[in-house]
Chain A
Amino acid sequence: QRQKRPKSNCSSSSVVGQIVKTMEHFMEKFAVDLFTVTQAFLKNSGDVEATLYFLQTGQRSDGYPVWSREDDLELQKDDEHVRNKLIAKFGAENVAKRIAFRES
């Protein structure tokens, strides 16, 4: 399991600059296009380390799946049963991270 890291206090523009550099690095490193790298970030809730691992291995280091559009639609439903299914699929921490990512 990866350790939690505090969110950056950088300004939005500097964060975007960091992400641009990171995305360029990933495109070169893995010989993939911008589309693929961006989608990898979206599927991994913007987590750089998770995205890196996903691009390297095609899966997440914690063994859970990456998020899909269908999962996001399910996440929007105000239904405890659906939410519990998502927690079973992704783990409570990943569901919480996804909610935070979507609301950020």
Chain B
Amino acid sequence: PAKRAAGPIAAPEMMEEASGPAAALEPMEDITDPAATPEHLTAAYDILKGAPESMEIAKEPAAATPELP
């Protein structure tokens, strides 16, 4: 299973070095476009995190979506 985040989502610049080529290009037919909004992403993050502290994110959307103060 993939690693889970250790804490709340931080500013995007904090992950600059984490992003990069991670796999070869290949089609993903099973992925549809759900037109994600910040609210959707926050909810999905909360579900996937599944930790008690994730409730704090739900109460503080700005903390979960730092690009959208």
A27 to B43, CA, bound (A): 17
Shortest distance from the beta carbon of B50 to any chain A beta carbon, whole Å? 10
A67 to B31, CA, bound (A): 23
Shortest distance from the beta carbon of B16 to any chain A beta carbon, whole Å? 9
Tell me, yes or no, whether A88 is within 8 Å of chain B by CB.
Answer: no
Chain A contact surface mostly: helix
Question: Is there contact, CB below 8 Å, between A32 and B2?
Answer: yes
Contacts of A19 in B (CB 8 A): 34, 36, 40-41, 43-44
Question: Is there contact, CB below 8 Å, between B41 and A46?
Answer: yes
A91 to B31, CA, bound (A): 26
Question: Is there contact, CB below 8 Å, between B33 and A33?
Answer: no
A102-B68 CB under 8 A given contacts A8-B33, A15-B36, A48-B34 = yes
Q: Which residues of chain B have a CB within 8 Å of any CB of chain A?
A: 1-7, 9-15, 18-25, 28, 30-41, 43-45, 47-49, 64-69
Beyond A36-B5, A40-B19, 17 extra complex contacts between A and B, CB < 8 Å:
A12-B40, A15-B40, A18-B34, A19-B40, A19-B44, A30-B23, A31-B2, A33-B5, A38-B44, A42-B12, A42-B66, A46-B40, A52-B28, A55-B22, A67-B12, A69-B12, A70-B13
Enumerate the 6 nearest inter-chain pairs by beta-carbon distance, A residue then B residue, closest first. A27-B2, A46-B36, A35-B5, A104-B37, A30-B22, A18-B34
